[in-house]
Chain A
Amino acid sequence: MLLEVKNLDAGYGFLHILRNVSLSVEKGEYVCLVGPNGAGKSTTLKTIAGLISPIGGEVCFDGETISGLAGYKVARRGIAYISEEMNLFSNMTVHENLLMGAYTVRDKQLEKNRLAFVYALFPQLEGRKNQLAGTMSGGERKMLGIGRALMCNPKMLLVDEPSFGLAPLLTEDVFDSLDTLIKEGGTILVVEQNVTKTLDVTDRGYVLEHGRIELEGPSAELARDPHVRKAFLGV
């Protein structure tokens, strides 16, 4: 197992959101976490990424416990988290943002390779190299966010709502790029509200409701599940 979350409890201050959440992701897998608004999907990702410290439970990555570590230490272990709002450095250029993504990479050659890789994945970004990140459109910001996360050659990506605030056409683009990453051997845990689309592309899925994992299984099976169909697909 690359990532293993065991009986995780988490929340903000007095607000207890996650209860006993367990999930696991294997190397090379494309896993999704779906559920209604406020179920605690984003909280799960933030807790794994170390931005929130868990109340109870354990997160293991690559065989080592990472729960309770500060966010930057988790990032240095090779987990790249892409938040809903991207958290770009809006007063830096696209290029500088990408360089910041490679902050933990000390090897200049590797940095160059990663930069070439990201520009190949998102050719639009190369054309806007010297534009300030804050002045870009939603789709471009998304690409830059993913690009920045890929700069440190992460072992795993945590993606929060890739389709959030994007037009359908752009959403396709973003999902396509995630697909490419999987084909090249990447590992992704994605959180989405667009359940149909997500279950369509991922290998396996978890359904989170009221802070608990209600269902889990291969995505194709989940898409056929009567509860899921009724609750999320409106069928």
Chain B
Amino acid sequence: MITEYLKKLYETIRSVAGITVVLAIVVAILSSIFRGPYIIVNTVVTGGMLALMSIGLALVFGVMNVAQFAHGEYFMIGSLTAYYTFIPIERYLGANPNAALSFLAPLVSILAAFCMGALMGVLSEKLIFYNLRKRSRTNWVMNSFLLTVGISVLLVNGHQLIFGTELKGIVRYWTGRPFCIMDVFVSRDRCYAFILSVLVIGLFWLFMKATRTGRAIRAVSQDETGAQMVGIDLSGIQVLTMALSCGLAGIAGASLLFMFPSYPSVGLDPLYMSWFVIILAGMGNVLGAVVGAFMVALLKVLTMEYIGSGWDFVVPTALIMLILIFKPNGIFGSDVRGVLEQ
């Protein structure tokens, strides 16, 4: 029994994906030994939020075949919503302090961001993708991609028009001394952001695996006709998928508000990064996206550490191009479609 299990594990490790993941872990450990453990800490915190972004991107591609260019804009909407929810609460707290509320206020803001992101997702599906789908399905992937380009332009400049270009940021969500992990001081915000991302990914995982609706989403991603045959309402699932995906991006934007203050094009960097992830993992592969997010985060952190900040953009890009040339389906990719399966 155990030998069989080990054999399976050995085979997994020997695959391209396995080799890459093991290599990444080894590199992470080695660099932490030579440079200090903050490398692993930084990777893990960045990776968690990147994973939230990438899951949404992979989900939308897997279920709806939409290559989302506007995904960063839902991140922006999330951070904007969180800002306008958090600031009034903070002001109120300044007048009458309350320990429980000051712990809950950030969570409330993040929840609001999730709802707002989901709402915008539903609107984009109902007003835009639905109409294109109804009119024509030829060349769908490219046409819907161009639609998302339009959405992105619309949302970025809508933000600029209504809220202006100034940075709308906060210093911190949670006050208090930073935590000390492995001799590294990590601010409370970063810690909670990581815990939150793990929790949300876990919940998402449960939802997709164990609930009837989650299974239906996976079913649609694997076979649309089959899904209709068993009585699944495709358009309902599409709305839900869009809401989930954009809501997750909203959460990411909201919980990173202390790092990325909200401004019109704040979503661009997260967008690029999450695209790196899903190219690396294979588009439409949610499971791979989680692993890939941490690998891209590591790559980013290492580039900044060894080559210098600013190059953290060029090096991953070059690597992604190599992956596209040699393994266009991503390192976890296969010909099998599906959002939660490799």
Contact = CB atoms under 8 A, between A and B. Distances in A.
Contacts of A99: 215
A83 B336 contact: no
Task: Give 8 nearest A-B pairs by CB, closest first.
Answer: A87-B226, A71-B228, A91-B341, A75-B231, A91-B338, A104-B231, A89-B222, A76-B231
Contacts of A149: 229
Interface residues of A, number: 30
B223 interface: yes
25 contacts: A50-B228, A51-B225, A51-B229, A70-B233, A71-B228, A72-B227, A75-B231, A76-B231, A83-B225, A87-B225, A87-B229, A88-B223, A89-B218, A89-B223, A89-B338, A90-B222, A90-B336, A91-B338, A91-B340, A100-B230, A103-B216, A103-B231, A104-B231, A134-B336, A152-B231
B223 A87 contact: yes
Given A71-B225, A91-B222, 19 more contacts: A51-B225, A51-B229, A70-B234, A71-B228, A71-B229, A75-B229, A76-B231, A87-B225, A89-B218, A89-B227, A91-B218, A92-B215, A92-B218, A92-B219, A92-B222, A103-B212, A103-B230, A134-B336, A152-B231
Interface string B203-236: 0000000001001101100110111111111100
Interface in A90-140: 90-92, 96, 99-101, 103-104, 134
Contact of A96 (B215, B225, B232): B215
Given A87-B223, A88-B223, A72 B233 contact: yes
A134 B234 CA distance: 22
Given A90-B336, A91-B222, A91-B341, A70 B228 contact: yes
Contacts of B216: 100, 103
Contacts of B225: 51, 71, 83, 87
A226 to B, nearest CB: 38
B230 A91 contact: no
Interface in B227-281: 227-234
A145 to B, nearest CB: 9
A100 B219 contact: yes
Is the interface on chain B under 10, 10 to 19, 20 to 34, or 35 or more residues? Answer: 20 to 34
A131 B234 CA distance: 26
A104 B228 CA distance: 11
Which residue, B215, B223, B231, B337, has most C-beta atoms of chain A within 10 A?
B231
Which residue, A75, A89, A104, has most C-beta atoms of chain B within 10 A?
A89
A76 B231 CA distance: 6
B336 A91 contact: yes
A76 B230 CA distance: 8
Contacts of A90: 222-223, 336, 338
A72 B226 contact: no
A72 B215 contact: no
Interface in B285-342: 336-338, 340-341
Contacts of B222: 89-92
Contacts of B226: 86-89
A91 B219 CA distance: 9
A32 interface: no
Given A89-B218, A90-B336, A134-B336, A152 B229 contact: no
A16 to B, nearest CB: 20
B215 A100 contact: yes
Contacts of A92: 215, 218-219, 222, 341
A49 interface: yes
A62 B233 CA distance: 22
A148 to B, nearest CB: 7
B11 to A, nearest CB: 15
Given A91-B336, A99-B215, A103-B216, A49 B223 contact: no
Interface in B172-226: 212, 215-216, 218-219, 222-223, 225-226
A71 B226 CA distance: 10
A49 B229 contact: yes
A101 B226 CA distance: 10
